Chain A
């Protein structure tokens, strides 16, 4: 077992496959546009995709228990708009307080979603579809029917995204911090392992003494928390809060997770996978405008084709990997 060849390891692990795809993407793009592979361009890319990257961690947890959450971008709009309006009308001015409020609203939203799903037994897609409408509408109401909070109104809050620490924007440090915390949380804590247990086999988890309902409640609350964080980041990064921000963005987060090998039926998926998945999407978004061959009208189609190709290639490679694994066993 220990003498697994390098090639086998490579084709055996989903994350390794993704890493190869990502490296290939990087190589191709760098050949076409050399300026892509610079420190500045890469940190720009991370900063501009911070929201999706952070939120795919929450989606990972939700999908691990076999759920899905399409209300997240409405939660993001509600939290972002709330702190935007609080700052605009000078009810608060402290950046720290704004983040705390955003997280609190996010947690409350996520908790409510989790309650409906875990206690009233509503299928996740239905419950979150309902909350997608509800939270988005609340976002509009908070904005007084469509006011925006602009850069000037946000005061010091927007400086959070431009402040640098050790040469990188604080936003990027937030991403790194989130990923480190979740890596540890999912791998080495009891609760993290319980999330996997619930996703792989809910009844077995129930029998072994895990409170499945509470775990479900927890993952949606975590998702809400990260959506709240996403809301604060979005407002800070773009120095603007609008009630319709990130509409439809939940699909990007879900796509990032699925590309990263997170199973939609639960139980399978890693923090590393979520990272690679969201990086692949971020790379596509960053690189498409750089490629000079295409008319701008083609961008969406190409993005769709790339997503489709990546998931299909992933499946094909997985199939050959499974076959190879079986071959090894036969010998």
Chain B
């Protein structure tokens, strides 16, 4: 029993100790938990790093927590652990839209603020979603890239992650909808949506199959980091006439990006990952400090990112949208690859 008290005191001292030097912030002594989709994801790490830096500059302590596997089951266990500790807020990138609802509501009942980023839960289990880029904006950017790269007409295909990936499905649906509504895209033909399960091996098989099935294929659009790198490698190694665009990490795509025939990808998109981490951190802190409650039309200032207004999200909840997707092309990729 004695030992328990000693260790508790030590822990308390440690928390205080780490909080003391940063007295200037607006979130002194607050505890935030940042929950990722899985461990070992470079994509998440970049945003997490910027999240932690921002929140610590404001005086909060952040624990980055990972589930054991990229499943909702594992995230439920993580949330259970977090509820046991005295966190002020949890910011989560969800593995499933609905499965976390019970636990997140339990957390909110305990007074813990819940924000989502990167991948949202359903509206009932969150207070706010920090959206990296508007769904329609991403779909529009990708479709315009396909139109541009194909020269205005011809076949294109989509290489996605899994058929269950909520983000990817939303973007693909947005693309399909835009195609139907605008005559500009009438000469583009979406031949297939293939799934590479975010595994290099399967993505390579799927890319090869697309090329064999559709010899006239002009563009492959891969809105997923692992898929785009695997497809880029296959197309480039084979000197294929088919080009590539999509969403990817600049550091992964550096070798494949170029306007000439030697490179498979003329340009691709992603969003400002550091900005996403920063905005998520500041939004979460605003929730803790009751500056916002997560209702539509509330506004808050997110440091040097500027003012943000909370808007209604497509799923019926509320969100803050970071901005338009960023384009990575031969001119800026070298520089961006150093960042992420």
Contacts and interface: CB of A to CB of B under 8 A. Distances in A.
Partners in one complex: yes
Interface of A: 33, 35-36, 41, 44, 48-49, 51, 140, 143, 145-148, 150-153, 162, 234, 237-240, 242-245, 285-286, 289-290, 292, 296-297
B23 interface: no
Contacts of A238: 200-201, 204, 229-230, 233
B195 A296 contact: yes
B229 A150 contact: yes
Interface size class for chain B? Answer: 35 or more
Given A44-B208, A48-B205, A285-B202, A151 B213 contact: no
Interface centre among B39, B209, B255 (most CB of A within 10 A): B209
Give the dominant DSSP class at B's interface.
helix
B205 A289 contact: yes
B40 A289 contact: no
Contacts of A244: 38-40
B252 A150 contact: yes
Interface stretch (B41-49, B166-174, B281-289): B41-49
B251 interface: yes
Contacts of A51: 201
Nearest to A292: B213
Given A244-B38, A244-B39, 6 more contacts: A41-B208, A146-B45, A240-B200, A244-B40, A286-B205, A289-B209
Given A140-B39, A146-B42, A151 B163 contact: no
Given A146-B41, A146-B45, A292-B213, A239 B255 contact: yes
B255 to A, nearest CB: 4
Interface string B204-236: 111011101100000000000010011001000
B237 to A, nearest CB: 5
B237 A162 contact: yes
Interface centre among A41, A143, A238 (most CB of B within 10 A): A238
B55 to A, nearest CB: 18
B252 A285 contact: no
Given A145-B40, A148-B42, A242-B40, A290 B213 contact: yes
Contact of A152 (B195, B206, B209, B251): B251
12 contacts: A36-B212, A48-B204, A48-B205, A147-B42, A148-B251, A150-B252, A151-B255, A152-B251, A238-B229, A244-B38, A285-B205, A289-B210
B275 to A, nearest CB: 20
Contacts of A243: 39-40
A258 B225 CA distance: 34
A78 B226 CA distance: 19
A140 B45 CA distance: 13
B163 A297 contact: yes
Contacts of A44: 208
Contacts of A286: 205, 208-209
A240 B198 CA distance: 13
Q: Please name the 7 residue pairs, one residue from A and one from B, whose CB atoms are nearest each other, closest first.
A: A289-B209, A238-B200, A243-B40, A151-B255, A152-B254, A146-B40, A148-B42
Nearest to A249: B201
Contacts of A41: 208, 212
B254 A150 contact: yes
B45 A152 contact: no
Contacts of A48: 201, 204-205, 208
